[in-house]
């Protein structure tokens, strides 16, 4: 309830900001502060399930920012701002350490999800030392290979293809899974897919939500799953909200699902409680 109000308050504030550019500057200043101190940053985790068995297959790490004056700021607003200003680099580095620390703790309790996916924006992906950072992270936190995966959008992978392939191959050598996020919304020529060492296509939620409503969405889901099968790629459906959508996905043999139907993003504690909790031995 309070959270909801916080969000509404911020929305009003944002409408105001569109009229007054200097408010964006204020938000950027606040974000810069947060990038330096880490204050107000939190990671939420959304579960990824096998559609058929309901077995947990992993989680996606999603950044949350709470500011004392602005309230809960949506990543839809602050990630683009962070990307424009370059603040995404320190913020992203913080997120990765938070995730790695959480994984280390979960592993120590024997509870870790099979994998956690981290979103990478363009600037993060094109950092010259990205691969070294990921390697160091695994070493520092004692994470098994492949424990952390990445999600990137198509547009990132379109330019500098050779360099992209090089980076992706290095990440694949560490067994990191690589998903193309929001798949189907970019301007891809598709032919780029056969050259890129990615593992997963994550169908954008707009197409999942259109299932049963528009023939176009169904056609796109069918095309993506067909393509994935030919290329030997795994498919994830994001934004699954209804039982009808889940049933439709069975028809296209989409086996991995994520969405409000099976679980919203929650705090690390909430995630452990709901999805990782082992049987507590009694007696």
CB of 96 to ligand C2E, least distance (A): 9
CB of 223 to ligand C2E, least distance (A): 20
26 binds, among ligand C2E, Mg ion, none (CB under 5 to 8 A by kind): none
Q: Please, which residue, 154 or 182, has the CB nearer to Mg ion?
A: 182
Q: Please, which residue, 93 or 227, has the CB nearer to ligand C2E?
A: 93
27 binds, among Mg ion, ligand C2E, none (CB under 5 to 8 A by kind): none
Nearest to 211 by CA among 260, 244, 184: 244
CB of 281 to Mg ion, least distance (A): 36
Q: Please, which residue, 40 or 162, has the CB nearer to ligand C2E?
A: 40
Q: Please, which residue, 84 or 195, has the CB nearer to ligand C2E?
A: 84
CB of 281 to ligand C2E, least distance (A): 34
Query: For strand 148-153 and strand 178-183, is the pairing parallel, antiparallel, or unpaired?
Result: parallel
CB of 79 to Mg ion, least distance (A): 11
Query: For strand 200-203 and strand 116-119, is the pairing parallel, antiparallel, or unpaired?
Result: unpaired
Q: List residues near ligand C2E by CB under 6 A.
A: 46, 62-63, 74-76, 79, 92, 95, 119-121, 151, 181-182, 205, 238-241, 259-260, 265
260 binds, among ligand C2E, Mg ion, none (CB under 5 to 8 A by kind): ligand C2E
Q: Please, which residue, 181 or 225, has the CB nearer to ligand C2E?
A: 181
95 binds, among Mg ion, ligand C2E, none (CB under 5 to 8 A by kind): ligand C2E
Q: List residues near Mg ion by CB under 5 A.
A: 119, 151, 181-182, 238
217 binds, among Mg ion, ligand C2E, none (CB under 5 to 8 A by kind): none
CB of 139 to Mg ion, least distance (A): 25
């Amino acid at each position: 309830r309070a959270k909801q109000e916080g969000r509404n308050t911020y929305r009003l504030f944002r409408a105001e900001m569109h009229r007054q550019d200097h408010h964006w500057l204020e938000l950027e200043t606040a974000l810069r502060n947060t990038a330096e101190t880490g204050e107000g940053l939190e990671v939420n985790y959304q579960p990824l399930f096998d559609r058929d068995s309901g077995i947990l297959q992993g989680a996606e790490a999603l950044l949350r920012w709470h500011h004392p004056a602005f309230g809960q700021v949506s990543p839809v607003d602050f990630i683009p701002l962070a990307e424009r200003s370059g603040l995404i680099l320190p913020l992203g580095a913080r997120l990765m350490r938070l995730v790695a620390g959480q994984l280390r703790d979960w592993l120590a309790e024997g509870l870790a999800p099979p994998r956690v996916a981290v979103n990478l924006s363009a600037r993060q992906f094109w950092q010259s030392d990205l691969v070294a950072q990921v390697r160091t992270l695994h070493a520092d936190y004692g994470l098994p290979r492949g424990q952390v995966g990445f999600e990137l959008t198509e547009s990132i992978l379109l330019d500098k293809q050779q360099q992209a392939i090089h980076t992706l191959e290095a990440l694949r050598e560490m067994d990191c899974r690589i998903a193309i996020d929001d798949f189907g919304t970019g301007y891809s020529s598709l032919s780029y897919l056969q050259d890129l060492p990615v593992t997963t296509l994550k169908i954008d939620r707009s197409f999942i939500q259109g299932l049963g409503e528009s023939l176009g969405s169904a056609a796109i889901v069918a095309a993506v799953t067909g393509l994935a099968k030919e290329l030997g790629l795994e498919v994830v459906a994001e934004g699954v909200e209804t039982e009808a959508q889940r049933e439709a996905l069975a028809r296209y043999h989409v086996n991995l699902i994520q969405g409000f139907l099976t679980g919203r993003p929650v705090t690390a504690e909430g995630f452990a409680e709901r999805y990782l909790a082992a049987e507590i031995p009694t007696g």
